[in-house]
Amino acid sequence: MALQIGSKSATSGMTKAIYDQMNTILSPPLSDMPPADLEKIKDSWKQLAYAISKGVIDHVKANMEIKGVEASGNISATVSGSTATQNNVVFTQNNDGTGRVS
């Protein structure tokens, strides 16, 4: 799953998920409020949801560590006109696991 911040209007990505939860939990106690006032509050929730989403995803991408990655499969390569196939090759991560994730 991709880490997607989403839109400032809270129509996509993590921003939408956060806003939807805020709206579900926080709207009912405000149901007696005039609709125009409630819409202003909801606009603030959208801004807050975007700020939280951006902060979380930027932090995760900058600081995530991935260790113990292993992949396997078959390789077919052509070198100087000759083709060779190696079956059941296993690639194992050999760095410290730090780096940028996108």
Q: Model pTM greater than 0.75?
A: no
Considering the chain, what is the average pLDDT of its residues? 87
CB crowding 46-77: b at 16 or more within 10 Å, else e? beebbebbbeebeeeeeeeeeeeeeeeeeeee
* pLDDT for 10: 97
Q: Where does residue 80 fall: left (phi above 0), alpha (psi -120 to 50 degrees), or beta otherwise?
A: left
Domain ranges of the chain: 13-63
pLDDT in tens, 20-61: 999 999 999 999 999 999 999 999 999 999 999 999 999 988
